[in-house]
Structure 1
Amino acid sequence: MGLSVTAMIDMLDEDEKAFAQALLRHAPAPPYSRYGVDGVRSLFDTAGATAPIRPVHDVGDRMIDTPAGPLLVRCYRPSAQPDLPVLIYIHGGGFTVGTLNGVDDLCRSLCAEAACVVISVEYRRAPEHVFPAAADDCLWTYEWAQREAESLGIDPSRIALAGDSAGGNLALSVCTASALAHRPMPRALVLAYPATSNTHAGPSWDAFEDAPVLCKSDALWFWSNYAGTGADLDPRAVPMLSTTLHALPPTLIVAAEVDVLRSDYEDFAAVAARAGAEVEVRQYDGVLHGFFPEVATIGKARRAVADAAHHLRTHFSKE
């Protein structure tokens, strides 16, 4: 039997506890899937901030021409210096919710602290667009950054990928597709509590079945929105199935202590390490799934961003 919501709240540090209690007090009761796609989006899609917490040199939206139509990305630049390294950031939200605005503060922080351009991707969302739509959008963005490096003022040999939750899954999908096609791999990965398996079973699934922010039934609903036909057997959708894990670049996995997905990405890290990848799992105690973008309110999020920026700077600097 899983932990009660009260027991899980008691595990949290003060910042995260206040965040969780406010969510439970002001939002409708979970599971959120009961409110349908439009209801969940009305709860969790974030409007643009009137006063971003972290100024950077330049921020601008651009459109990428793709085989599926125009794709919006938001580019953050730390300085006017040319040939900067670049991080492609992929937001979470169960493939169903989430926007560029929801990770704006996070992308600004990563841009400043890792001294890199950040390109944030507004990929197509499920259930309107099932797999492989979002995976394709992220791959096209990665390939676009390589092609347009000169106009973007970036170094195409120093491209990293990052994402949280579903975004971590999509970052891994880019790696799988690139490895299978024998194309250049990213320089580094930062994956915050990524979705890596479709078994939906394990110790964390039992312990945190009723967790705030992401409970088991919502996780299953999000996957059902995205999976479509064939996703359950495709390594671009299910990273644990990939035969190219040995080719992964140095990877930092940001783990949340109270997270229904934790067993999955811990197992994934172990499998990838056995395959020959360089993988570090760094757990942040006292926080929930979803904490990473909350840099304005949660101290552990700011610590995780600092650790992620260090990982990126380290591997951007290596030849």
Structure 2
Amino acid sequence: MPMKKTSLILIISLNIVSIGFSQESGETTPNPEQYRAGIAKSIADLKIEPSPVSKVTNVLIKGQIDSIPLRIYYPSNEESLPILYHMHGGCLVAGDLETHDNICRYLCNQVGCIVIAVDYRQPPENKFPAAVEDCHFVLNWIYKNAEKLGGNKNKIALIGDSSGGNLSAAVCLKNSESESIIPLVMQVLINPVLDLRNNSSSFNTYMGCVFAYLNNPEDSNNKFASPLAAFTFEHTPQTIIITSENDESKDEAELYNKRLMNSNIISSLYEVQGIGHFAGLWAGNSPEVNNAK
């Protein structure tokens, strides 16, 4: 299927409403605080003013292990709004509610939906599968509380960039195995990292971060760590994948798209020319990645 270039916002709007970072590879476990500080600085240095939204609410919910911070963005006071559940990227070890605040505000306004961002547990303090478990728990919380939040539980979509795309794909796999499967409208993956197995593109590019994320090499074969390791993609929602011409993990996005289509899942792949991994440019809502929006 030929790759196309289009407006992400247009796609999300039509589908929901009508129905990084500088990531460096390394052979040793990275210092997470250095990564986190570096990512935050790279986004702050963009000096992009945050877009005003109707309302922003910070919520702390009780998770299975620890409390999970959420940030909820509202475009208006309307009821039964679509919900876009956002999982941030950050080389598996970094990123938070602040680093992706700009892009969440942008999505909230442009799509006209409630955006719910999660601050999941991160390694090396909390290794795999902590982040996946938190993100899956929050999906169930969103579904159960959608009406209280002013949202529509039948119009929930997922979005994640880079390692957040990994988490979105993993959450879809988790959801498909749940006793009560949540009817997701779609997932949108931006430069997703989908394979942490030895010698994969993501492993070779982000090796140190992969070591920090996983407990041992065997974890990389777990489909919730490497969604491309899954044998079946049953109940995965319609998927939109945004990749870029020079992204190191582009081959994983292309293979994931192909495997979804071979599983009779509606999936579309869009490539942005002339740029590498969006990184902090996406999180900070930089005009440099407007072609992806």
Normalising by structure 2, report the TM-score.
0.83
Counterparts of residues 45-60 of structure 1 (less than 5 Å): 45=40, 52-60=49-57
Check whether the contact 2:143–2:182 (CA below 8 A) recurs between aligned residues. no
Q: How far apart are the structure 2 equivalents of 1:174 and 1:31?
A: 25
Aligned to 2:163: 166
Q: How far apart are the structure 1 equivalents of 2:154 and 2:222?
A: 28
For residue 131 of structure 1, the aligned residue among 124, 128, 133 is 128
Counterparts of residues 66-77 of structure 1 (less than 5 Å): 66-77=63-74
Check whether the contact 1:103–1:293 (CA below 8 A) recurs between aligned residues. yes
Aligned to 1:222: 209
1:224 partner SS: helix
Q: How far apart are the structure 2 equivalents of 1:259 and 1:174?
A: 23
Check whether the contact 1:246–1:272 (CA below 8 A) recurs between aligned residues. no
Check whether the contact 2:26–2:206 (CA below 8 A) recurs between aligned residues. no
1:189 is aligned to 2:177:
no
Q: Which runs of 5+ in 1 are unaligned?
A: 1-26, 206-214, 306-319
**Structure number with higher helix proportion:** 1
Counterparts of residues 1-319 of structure 1 (less than 5 Å): 36-45=31-40, 52-182=49-179, 183-199=181-197, 201=199, 205=201, 219-229=206-216, 230-289=218-277, 290=279, 291-298=281-288, 301-305=289-293
Alpha-carbon offset, residue 54 of structure 1: 1.5
Structure with more relative contact order (C-alpha pairs < 8 Å, separation 6 or more): 2
1:247 partner SS: coil
Q: How far apart are the structure 2 equivalents of 1:232 and 1:122?
A: 23
Cα–Cα, structure 1 residues 216 and 139, in superposed 2: closer, same or farther, change >3 Å?
A: closer
2:100 partner SS: helix
Q: How far apart are the structure 2 equivalents of 1:303 and 1:79?
A: 26
Check whether the contact 2:159–2:189 (CA below 8 A) recurs between aligned residues. yes
CA offsets 1:65-95 (integer angstroms, 9 cap, x no match): 1121211010000000011110110000122
Q: How far apart are the structure 1 equivalents of 2:76 and 2:47?
A: 22
CA offsets 1:203-244 (integer angstroms, 9 cap, x no match): xx4xxxxxxxxx975511111111214522321111112233
Alpha-carbon offset, residue 50 of structure 1: 9.0
Structure 1 counterpart of 2:282, one-letter code: F
Q: How far apart are the structure 1 equivalents of 2:159 and 2:82?
A: 13
CA offsets 1:229-266 (integer angstroms, 9 cap, x no match): 45223211111122331421111101011111111111
Give the CA RMSD over aligned residues.
2.4
Q: How far apart are the structure 1 equivalents of 2:95 and 2:127?
A: 15
Segment of structure 1 superposing worse, 115-124 or 52-61: 52-61
Cα–Cα, structure 1 residues 130 and 110, in superposed 2: closer, same or farther, change >3 Å?
A: same
The sequence identity of aligned pairs, in percent, is 26
Aligned residues: 265
Cα–Cα, structure 1 residues 32 and 175, in superposed 2: closer, same or farther, change >3 Å?
A: same
1:265 partner SS: helix
Segment of structure 1 superposing worse, 266-275 or 71-80: 266-275
Q: How far apart are the structure 2 equivalents of 1:132 and 1:118?
A: 24
Check whether the contact 1:188–1:249 (CA below 8 A) recurs between aligned residues. yes
Q: Which runs of 5+ in 2 are unaligned?
A: 1-21
Structure with the greater alpha carbon radius of gyration: 1
Check whether the contact 1:83–1:153 (CA below 8 A) recurs between aligned residues. yes
Structure 1 counterpart of 2:260, one-letter code: A
Q: How far apart are the structure 2 equivalents of 1:33 and 1:117?
A: 40
1:45 partner SS: helix
1:303 partner SS: helix
Cα–Cα, structure 1 residues 33 and 82, in superposed 2: closer, same or farther, change >3 Å?
A: farther
Segment of structure 1 superposing worse, 29-38 or 218-227: 29-38
Alpha-carbon offset, residue 296 of structure 1: 2.9
